[in-house]
Copies of this chain bind each other. A is one copy, B any other.
Amino acid sequence: MDTQQFREFGKAMVDYIADYLDNIRERQVLPSVNPGYLQTMIPKEVPQSGENWKEIMHDIEKIIMPGITHWHSPNFHAYCPTANSYPGIVGEMLSAGIGCVGFSWVSSPACTELEVAMMNWLGKLLGLPEEFLNCSDGPGGGIIQGSASESTLIALLTAKEKKVREIRTKNPHLTEADIKGKLVAYSSDQANSSVEKSGLLGSMPMRLLTADNTGSLSGTTLMEAVRKDKEDGFIPCYVVATLGTTGTCAFDNVEELGLVCKEEGIWLHIDAAYAGSAFVCPEYRHLMKGVEYADSFDFNPHKWMLVNSDCSAMWVKDARYLVEAFNVDRIYLKHQHEGFAPDYRHWQISLGRRFRALKLWFVLRSYGVEGIQQHIRSQIALANYFEDLVKSDSRFEVATSNMGLVCFRLKGPDVLTQTLLDRLTDRKNIYVIPCYYRGQYVIRFVVCSRFTEIKDIDYGWNEICEVSTQILENGLNKENFGFVAILEEEKTIGSLQISSQKCRKRKNQDMLMERIK
One of A142-150, A223-231, A255-263, A384-392 contacting the partner: A142-150
Is the C-beta of A137 less than 8 angstroms from some C-beta in chain B? no
Is the C-beta of A379 less than 8 angstroms from some C-beta in chain B? no
Is the C-beta of A5 less than 8 angstroms from some C-beta in chain B? yes
Q: Is the CB of A89 within 8 A of B6?
A: yes
Q: Is the CB of B100 within 8 A of A13?
A: no
Q: Is the CB of B93 within 8 A of A92?
A: yes
Give 4 nearest A-B pairs by CB, closest first: A177-B181, A67-B110, A17-B97, A10-B14
Is the C-beta of A116 less than 8 angstroms from some C-beta in chain B? yes
Task: Report which of B5, B44, B193 forms a contact with A120, defined as CB distance below 8 A.
Answer: B44
Q: Is the CB of A370 within 8 A of B50?
A: yes
Q: Is the CB of B113 within 8 A of A67?
A: yes
Is the C-beta of A381 less than 8 angstroms from some C-beta in chain B? no
| Chain B minimum-CB-distance residue to A246 | B351
Q: Give CA–CA (A70, B371) in the complex, Å.
A: 34
Q: Give CA–CA (A147, B353) in the complex, Å.
A: 9
> Across the interface, which residues of B come within 8 angstroms of A480, CB to CB?
none
Q: Is the CB of A85 within 8 A of B1?
A: yes
Q: Is the CB of A108 within 8 A of B69?
A: yes
> Across the interface, which residues of B come within 8 angstroms of A37, CB to CB?
109, 113
Task: Report which of B18, B44, B46 forms a contact with A7, defined as CB distance below 8 A.
Answer: B18
Is the C-beta of A165 less than 8 angstroms from some C-beta in chain B? no
Is the C-beta of A461 less than 8 angstroms from some C-beta in chain B? no
> Across the interface, which residues of B come within 8 angstroms of A51, CB to CB?
365-366, 368
Q: Give CA–CA (A106, B64) in the complex, Å.
A: 14
Task: Report which of B16, B97, B196, B354 forms a contact with A97, defined as CB distance below 8 A.
Answer: B16
> Across the interface, which residues of B come within 8 angstroms of A92, CB to CB?
92-93, 96
What's the minimum C-beta distance from A67 to chain B, rounded to whole angstroms?
A: 3
| A113 touching B494 in the complex, CB below 8 Å, given contacts A50-B368, A86-B5 | no
What's the minimum C-beta distance from A213 to chain B, rounded to whole angstroms?
A: 24
Residues from 248 to 295 in A contacting B, C-beta threshold 8 Å: none
Is the C-beta of A130 less than 8 angstroms from some C-beta in chain B? no
Taken residue by residue from 10 to 31, chain A's Cβ proximity to chain B (1 for < 8 Å, 0 otherwise) reads as 1101111110111000000001
Is the C-beta of A125 less than 8 angstroms from some C-beta in chain B? yes
Task: Report which of B366, B493, B496 forms a contact with A50, defined as CB distance below 8 A.
Answer: B366
Q: Is the CB of A50 within 8 A of B352?
A: no
Q: Is the CB of A6 within 8 A of B86?
A: yes
What's the minimum C-beta distance from A461 to chain B, rounded to whole angstroms?
A: 24
Residues from 34 to 58 in A contacting B, C-beta threshold 8 Å: 35-39, 42, 44-51, 53, 55-56
| Chain B minimum-CB-distance residue to A374 | B50
Taken residue by residue from 152 to 164, chain A's Cβ proximity to chain B (1 for < 8 Å, 0 otherwise) reads as 0100010010000
Task: Report which of B122, B331, B493 forms a contact with A489, defined as CB distance below 8 A.
Answer: B331
One of A335-343, A434-442, A467-475 contacting the partner: A335-343
Beyond the given A64-B358, A84-B97, could you list 10 further A-B residue pairs with CB under 8 A, ordered by the A residue number?
A9-B87, A13-B97, A46-B121, A50-B370, A71-B108, A92-B96, A107-B499, A194-B350, A329-B494, A331-B492
Q: Is the CB of A350 within 8 A of B147?
A: yes
Q: Is the CB of A117 within 8 A of B39?
A: yes
Q: Give CA–CA (A149, B178) in the complex, Å.
A: 27
Q: Give CA–CA (A118, B167) in the complex, Å.
A: 48
